[in-house]
């Protein structure tokens, strides 16, 4: 069964890409929010707890791998999707080792991103 009330946060420093992903991921049953950095994510996390994070690797101050590792240890059941423009297999392995469930090449196919969110939502704990 798929969750019908998923809280998603997109961490992306490219304003246009972040806005496009948030707009696309905001659909019935999906609440999407966007932040531009790990620092902004920390502020957001003080008020919200996401079910799923879509995370860019190349972020200012703290990269997506470090953020994924931190999120995985704090929220072990959260869904983590890492996006990277680096297409080397080794880069994706680093993402998986950091705690990502899925690593996508950037820019992501919107259909693929939606399918990933849909699939991950099947294992996420139901919202309270």
* pLDDT tens-digit map of 12-67: 999 999 999 999 999 878 999 999 999 999 999 999 989 999 999 999 889 999 99
Please classify residue 24 by burial: count the beta carbons closer than 10 Å to its beta carbon, then call 0-12 exposed, 13-18 middle and 19+ buried: middle
Q: Is a pLDDT exceeding 50 seen at residue 128?
A: no
Q: Is a pLDDT exceeding 60 seen at residue 126?
A: no
List, in sequence order, every beta strand (DSSP E) within 1-128: 6-11, 30-35, 52-56, 79-84, 102-105
- Report the helix count and the strand count for the chain, using DSSP H and E: 5, 5
pLDDT of residue 32: 95
pLDDT of residue 123: 83
pLDDT digits (tens, 9 = 90+) for 73-99: 999 999 999 998 876 778 888 999 999
pLDDT of residue 51: 93
Pairwise CA distance, residues 28 & 69, whole Å: 30
Shortest CA distance to 11 belongs to which of 58, 46, 49?
A: 58
Cut 0.75: pTM above it: yes
């Amino acid at each position: 069964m798929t969750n019908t009330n998923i809280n998603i946060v997109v961490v992306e420093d490219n304003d246009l890409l972040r806005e496009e992903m948030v707009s696309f991921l905001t659909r019935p049953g999906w609440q999407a929010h966007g932040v531009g950095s790990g620092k902004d994510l920390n502020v957001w996390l003080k008020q919200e707890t996401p079910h799923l994070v879509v995370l860019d690797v190349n972020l200012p101050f703290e990269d997506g791998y470090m953020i994924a590792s931190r999120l995985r240890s704090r929220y072990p059941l959260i869904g983590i999707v890492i996006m990277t423009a680096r297409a080397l297999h080794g880069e994706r392995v680093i993402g998986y080792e950091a705690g990502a469930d899925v690593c996508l090449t950037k820019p992501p196919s919107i259909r693929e991103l939606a399918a990933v969110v849909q699939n991950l939502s099947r294992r996420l704990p139901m919202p309270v």
